[in-house]
């Protein structure tokens, strides 16, 4: 990798962060738009709730449509696949027309795309509805992260991103707990109606903020011609850091969420829990994420990027290993909390790296990052369903326990070589 550009005075890394990652920010990245970021955090809350609402619905869908847990996992796979692939479109569009503006538009469109799931009557119809919802919800979190990357210097970006992601994390809790707790009362159709209402409320708040403030012009011009876009993707793929980060996040999505998707079905089968308790236990994953968001300011100086990735990857591996042996039920919420903490220690560090893969086309770069992550999730849910049907839940948990720490160590080792 070529000699890095010198860091600007206001972009010096926190202790443990890689100075070679620092690049000059756009000229307009001087004032941090706090209120706009808060509204984007609310949008990420709704998008994340839509994303993870499928997890606790897997056993319910399995029973209603008389399919196996592996087959019912399509409600997760369809959303994640559309979410991942559509990043390749939303990223360049955000660079071209404005990230905040595009998030506002897709939030309002998602009122329809998410709400249509409430009117499906078949397993295939539900899968199709989730696919459509994934196409619009896909734009929200990655473009919000890229917007933050445009406006927040690298030295403070991990802390700002972590706090922004507290909205996403609470959305994960809401999606998982709400579906589990209220599915028996309003049904899964009612869950999607409520989500559509949330998209409408937050979308209108974003629209109001958009109309009241003059946003800086889009960072990247050049149109949306296929040849131009292909050139940008090729340029991104030529960068060693980008190749490493993208490969790592794809495998992270495959291994972690390809396993976590089936924790609800495992709790239902092995412990005989009702949906309310299953949803409540899954909500502890978000608690672990919030613990990370609240303590990131202390973790980053003490552990640095390497330490966060190694501790996170090792921690989730240990937790999955314990789950493979059917621990006592009171230990499960603690383990799910630790899974959330470990996951965000590793994933948030990858996110910060993603915002610097190509600062001159940050929307595209972060969108590709998200695309790889969610395509990995989709493949992981498909593979995980096959493992569960063929070998059972312990085999799935044991595989993740072995491979996730290896992935963390590999990323750290290869990242160190890039700086030589």
Around Cβ 416, how many Cβ atoms within 10 Å?
11
pLDDT recorded at residue 14: 36
Question: Which of 402, 414, 404, 403 shows the shortest CA–CA distance to 306?
Answer: 414
Contact status, residue 177 vs residue 189, Cβ threshold 8 Å: no
Q: Band of the pLDDT at 408, cuts 50, 70, 90?
A: very high
pLDDT recorded at residue 180: 65
pLDDT recorded at residue 17: 40
Q: What is the full DSSP assignment across 307-376?
A: HHHHHHHHHHHHHHHHHTT---TTHHHHHHHHHHHHHHHHHHHHHHHHTTS-GGGHHHHHHHHHHHHHHH
Contact status, residue 370 vs residue 47, Cβ threshold 8 Å: no
Helix (H, G, I), strand (E, B) or coil at 391: helix
Question: Which of 304, 44, 233, 24 shows the shortest CA–CA distance to 149?
Answer: 24
Cα distance between residue 203 and residue 191, in whole Å: 18
Q: What angle do CA 259, 236, 7 make, to 5 degrees?
A: 100
53 vs 17: which has the higher pLDDT: 53
pLDDT recorded at residue 330: 94
Tell me which of 20-29, 336-345, 362-371 is least confident.
20-29
Question: Which of 204, 196, 87 shows the shortest CA–CA distance to 146?
Answer: 87
Half-sphere exposure of 214 (CA within 13 A, CB side): 1
Q: Band of the pLDDT at 28, cuts 50, 70, 90?
A: very low
Radius of gyration of the chain (CA): 20
pLDDT recorded at residue 361: 82
- Counting residues of the chain whose pLDDT is more than 90, the rounded percentage is 35
236 vs 157: which has the higher pLDDT: 236
Sequence-ordered list of residues with C-beta below 8 angstroms from that of 94, at least 6 positions apart, any chain: 102, 103, 139, 143, 146, 363, 364, 367
Tokens of 127: 């899968």
Around Cβ 63, how many Cβ atoms within 10 Å?
12
Question: Which of 395, 404, 405 shows the shortest CA–CA distance to 376?
Answer: 404
Report CA dihedral (186, 190, 194, 199) to the nearest 10 degrees: 160
Q: What is the mean pLDDT of residues 84-97?
A: 83
Tell me which of 42-56, 60-74, 297-311, 399-413 is least confident.
60-74
Cα distance between residue 29 and residue 368, in whole Å: 22
Whether 9 has a pLDDT exceeding 50, the answer reads no
325 vs 3: which has the higher pLDDT: 325
Full 3-state SS string of 167-212: HHHHHHHHHHHHHHHHHHHHHHHHHHHHHHHHHHHHHHHHHHHHHH
pLDDT recorded at residue 31: 63
Q: What is the mean pLDDT of residues 367-385?
A: 86
Question: Which of 31, 30, 5 shows the shortest CA–CA distance to 19?
Answer: 5
Question: Which of 213, 188, 204, 202 shows the shortest CA–CA distance to 72?
Answer: 188
Contact status, residue 94 vs residue 148, Cβ threshold 8 Å: no
Cα distance between residue 338 and residue 313, in whole Å: 11
Whether 233 has a pLDDT exceeding 60, the answer reads yes
Contact status, residue 418 vs residue 1, Cβ threshold 8 Å: yes
- Whole-angstrom distance between the N-terminal and C-terminal Cα of the chain? 9
- 3-state helix, strand, coil split of the chain in percent (to 5) is 80, 0, 20
The 10s digit of each residue's pLDDT in 345-371 is 999 899 889 888 887 788 888 888 988
Residue labelled with tokens 């498909």: 382
Cα distance between residue 143 and residue 124, in whole Å: 30
Q: What angle do CA 54, 77, 292 make, to 5 degrees?
A: 60
- Counting residues of the chain whose pLDDT is more than 70, the rounded percentage is 87
Tell me which of 34-38, 195-199, 222-226 is least confident.
222-226
Q: Band of the pLDDT at 148, cuts 50, 70, 90?
A: confident
Helix (H, G, I), strand (E, B) or coil at 278: helix
Cα distance between residue 178 and residue 331, in whole Å: 22
Whether 170 has a pLDDT exceeding 70, the answer reads yes
207 vs 163: which has the higher pLDDT: 207
């Amino acid at each position: 990798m070529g000699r890095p550009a010198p860091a600007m005075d206001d972009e010096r890394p926190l202790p443990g962060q890689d100075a070679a990652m620092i690049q000059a920010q756009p000229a307009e990245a001087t004032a941090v738009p706090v209120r706009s970021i808060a509204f984007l955090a609310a949008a990420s809350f709704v998008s994340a709730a839509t994303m993870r609402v499928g997890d606790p619905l897997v056993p319910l869908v399995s029973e209603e449509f008389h399919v196996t847990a592996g087959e019912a996992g399509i409600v997760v796979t369809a959303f994640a696949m559309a979410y991942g692939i559509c990043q390749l479109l939303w990223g360049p569009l955000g660079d071209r027309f404005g990230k905040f503006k595009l998030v506002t538009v897709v939030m309002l469109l998602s009122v329809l795309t998410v709400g249509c799931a409430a009117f499906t009557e078949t397993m295939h119809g539900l899968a199709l509805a989730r696919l459509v919802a994934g196409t619009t919800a896909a734009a929200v979190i990655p473009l919000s992260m890229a917007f933050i990357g445009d406006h927040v210097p690298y030295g403070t970006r991990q802390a700002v991103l972590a706090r922004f992601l507290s909205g996403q994390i609470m959305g994960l809790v809401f999606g998982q707990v709400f579906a589990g707790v209220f599915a028996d009362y309003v049904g899964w159709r009612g869950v999607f109606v409520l989500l559509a209402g949330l998209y409408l409320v937050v979308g209108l708040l974003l629209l109001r903020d958009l109309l009241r403030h003059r946003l800086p012009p889009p960072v990247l011009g050049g149109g949306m011609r296929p040849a131009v876009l292909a050139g940008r993707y090729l340029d991104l793929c030529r960068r060693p850091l980008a190749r490493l980060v993208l490969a790592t996040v794809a495998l992270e999505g495959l291994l972690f969420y390809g396993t976590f998707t089936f924790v609800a079905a495992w709790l239902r089968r092995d412990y005989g829990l009702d949906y309310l308790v299953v949803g409540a236990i899954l909500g502890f994953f978000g608690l672990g994420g919030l613990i990370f968001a609240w303590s990131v300011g202390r973790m980053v100086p003490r552990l640095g990027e390497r330490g966060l990735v190694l501790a996170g990857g090792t921690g989730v591996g240990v937790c999955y290993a314990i789950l493979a042996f059917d621990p006592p039920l009171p230990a499960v919420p603690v383990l799910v909390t630790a899974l959330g903490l470990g996951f965000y220690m590793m994933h948030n560090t990858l996110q910060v790296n993603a915002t610097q893969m190509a600062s001159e086309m940050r929307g595209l770069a972060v969108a590709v990052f998200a695309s790889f992550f969610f395509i990995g999730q989709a493949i992981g849910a498909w593979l995980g369903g096959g493992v569960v049907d063929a070998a059972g839940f312990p085999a799935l948990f044991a595989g993740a326990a072995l491979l996730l720490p290896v992935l963390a160590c590999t990323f750290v080792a290869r990242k160190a070589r890039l700086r030589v």
